Amino acid sequence: MRIRAALPALAGAVALTGTFLSTPAQAAGGITIHRAYFDSPGSDTGSNASLNGEWVQLKNTSSAAISVNGWILKDIANHRFTFPNVKIGAGKTVIVHTGKGTATSAHRYQNRRAYVWNNTSDTATLTKANGSRVDSCSWTTRDPSSKYC
Ligand SMILES: [Ca+2]
Ligand SMILES: [Ca+2]
């Protein structure tokens, strides 16, 4: 809505080209929360394997690598995971596990000893380092163990 409202004013600006106006930022894609596996398979025993069975998957839907340096993934209770200075490749995914593990380009670990994503209901929110919201995903008991966002 804001972008649409701004267009008439922008269209009058001499510096802008038709090419710019016909290429909205959304068409280029970006980082999205693709899936949340909020209820780890089996009994929630609190073992590291079970903690790592709980995760949130991000996906880069754009055609270029995107840096997520300092970006934050958090739940409603404000448990935060801050990304290091890494990029997510074009079309690639990264799974952020709750437990401990060795990070790779496709897997990151919060290194926690307790679950983060509530089985009953919760919201995963991804923000940039400056706090601006990138995406969020909510679920309730009506969803099965995971949710495609
Ligand atoms: Ca479970
Ligand atoms: Ca939570």
Assess if residue 105 is contained within a domain: yes
Ligand nearest to the CA of 78: 2
Instruction: Give the CATH number of the domain where residue 139 resides.
Output: 2.60.40.1260
Residue 69 belongs to what domain range? 26-148
With respect to residue 97, please indicate whether it lies within any of the assigned structural domains. yes
Q: Which tens digits make up the pLDDT trace of 46-87?
A: 999 999 999 999 999 999 999 999 999 999 999 999 999 999
Using alpha carbons, select from 103, 114, 117 the residue that is nearest to residue 35: 117
Q: Is residue 8 part of a domain?
A: no
Query: What's the structural domain count of the chain?
Result: 1
Does some domain include residue 102? yes
What residues contact 19, with CB distance under 8 A and at least 6 apart?
none
Residue 137 lies in a domain: yes
Q: What is the pLDDT of residue 97?
A: 98
**Rg value, the chain, Cα:** 18
Residue 75 lies in a domain: yes
Per-residue pLDDT band for 29 (boundaries 50, 70, 90) equals confident
Distance, CA 17 to ligand 1 centroid (Å)?
53
Mean per-residue pLDDT over the chain, rounded: 88
Shortest-distance ligand to the CA of residue 123: 2
CA of 138 to the centre of ligand 2 (A): 11
In a domain, 14, yes or no: no
Mean pLDDT of the 115-142 span? 97
Q: Are 148 and 136 in contact (CB under 8 A)?
A: no
Q: What's the 127 CA to ligand 1 centre distance in angstroms?
A: 27
Find the 117 Cα to ligand 1 centroid distance in Å.
Answer: 11
Considering the domain boundaries, does residue 136 fall inside one? yes
